[in-house]
Chain A
Amino acid sequence: MPELFLDRYVYLFVLVLLAIGLYGMLAKRNLVQKIIGLTIFTTAIYLFFIEGSVKDGASAPVIDPALGPTVDAADYVDPLPHLLILTAIVVGVGIVGVALAMVVRIYRIHGTLDEDELVRRMSAPKAEVGAPGDTPGADRPDDDGTAADDGDGQSPDDERGGER
């Protein structure tokens, strides 16, 4: 039994993190909390993938000439999962960026981030949605300008991720 735990404990912990993230995505009503759940879930998947690259007695995949002219693959951990997860982290930031842009826009139109409240508003008759007085955000026009500025700041951030 202890041996089974030593061989498998990373899978167990990753599974707990996946469950927490999934619960956050499905059960939480606040849209930003859902995105936080999504981030927890994706990071747990990264951990699972990197766990697949681990080899006993192996070091980081940077070739050391001191180990001799020929390279023995057993001395280094598997580089391929590292590369795939590097790509996945950058794409994950892109996903969060787009999701947050949608959240900001939903808040601008409906004035709330609560899922149940949004469903209630969207199933209401069409004229009410976006009508003056219906949106709490509508009586603060200067609030809107700052929101748009934040949005513009988001795209250079995303491009910086692409340059890496």
Chain B
Amino acid sequence: MILSLDILLFAILIVTALLALQVKDLLTAVAMLAGYSLFAALLFAGMQAVDVAFVEAALGAGLTGVLLIAAILATSRRIDGQEGMLRRVVVGSLVVGFVALMLFASGGLPDRGDPEAPAHQRVAPAYLEGSMEQTQTPNVVTAVLADYRSMDTLGETLVILTAALAASLVLVRREEGEP
């Protein structure tokens, strides 16, 4: 991982995130959000998480953008009101409190790239060392997804089915007096 590239990508992420929330047109905001997801995918690739980078580029930058554009075309792309001063102050102080709490909690996190971090100690080496022998799959992420933890993946497809059902039910049902 190259440090300067890393910092550049994070700076782009912060700028696109701010722009996505500040622009006055929702379609422009969606374009900014797609850019945000794409640069996040680059960061994932830089952190050696290639599978995550693929999925983030396809679903995060692609499908989320398509869904947002479809919804905006079905509704309205204008942003009407500006948030009031009171709201800014209340939410701003809440966010500052959240950041302070997270900074405090991050003291217990392991350093970057530490091979002795607790997360790397127990089950992950077992997956890495057993993957070829037990599942004949060189890609360990695939082996864990479809073999060691296939029940998780089954549950995930159930979640997607539920989401699709919920979305279509919400859209199809009509109230009395609704056009």
A43 touches B37 (CB 8 A): yes
Instruction: Tell whether A104 pairs with B141 under 8 Å between CB atoms, given A15-B106, A36-B29, A158-B163.
Output: no
B102 touches A18 (CB 8 A): yes
Between A and B, how many residue pairs show CB distances below 8 Å? 338
Least distance between A4 CB and chain B CB atoms (Å): 9
The CA-CA distance from A130 to B40 in the complex, in Å, is: 42
Residues from chain A with a CB closer than 8 A to the CB of B5 are none
Majority SS at the chain A contact face: helix
Chain A, 70-83, contact with B by CB distance < 8 Å: what is the 0/1 string?
11011011111111
**List of 6 A-B pairs having minimum Cβ-Cβ separation, nearest first:** A151-B171, A94-B163, A73-B125, A162-B160, A56-B113, A101-B167
The CA-CA distance from A131 to B178 in the complex, in Å, is: 8
**Which positions 150-164 of chain A face chain B at CB distance < 8 Å?**
150-155, 157-162, 164
Chain B residue at smallest Cβ distance from A35: B68
Instruction: Tell whether A28 pairs with B49 under 8 Å between CB atoms, given A101-B166, A154-B167, A159-B160.
Output: no
A162 touches B68 (CB 8 A): no
Count how many chain A residues have C-beta atoms less than 8 Å from C-beta atoms of the other chain: 110
B120 touches A78 (CB 8 A): yes
Majority SS at the chain B contact face: helix
B177 touches A130 (CB 8 A): yes
Instruction: Tell whether A105 pairs with B131 under 8 Å between CB atoms, given A27-B87, A159-B161.
Output: no
Residues from chain A with a CB closer than 8 A to the CB of B159 are 91, 94
B17 touches A40 (CB 8 A): yes
Count how many chain B residues have C-beta atoms less than 8 Å from C-beta atoms of the other chain: 104
State whether the Cβ of A122 lies closer than 8 Å to any Cβ in chain B.
Answer: no
**Which positions 143-169 of chain B face chain A at CB distance < 8 Å?**
144-145, 149, 152-153, 156-157, 159-168
**Which positions 110-161 of chain A face chain B at CB distance < 8 Å?**
112-114, 116-117, 130-132, 135, 137-138, 141, 144, 146-148, 150-155, 157-161
B179 touches A138 (CB 8 A): yes
A154 touches B79 (CB 8 A): no
Instruction: Tell whether A162 pairs with B157 under 8 Å between CB atoms, given A71-B128, A150-B70.
Output: yes
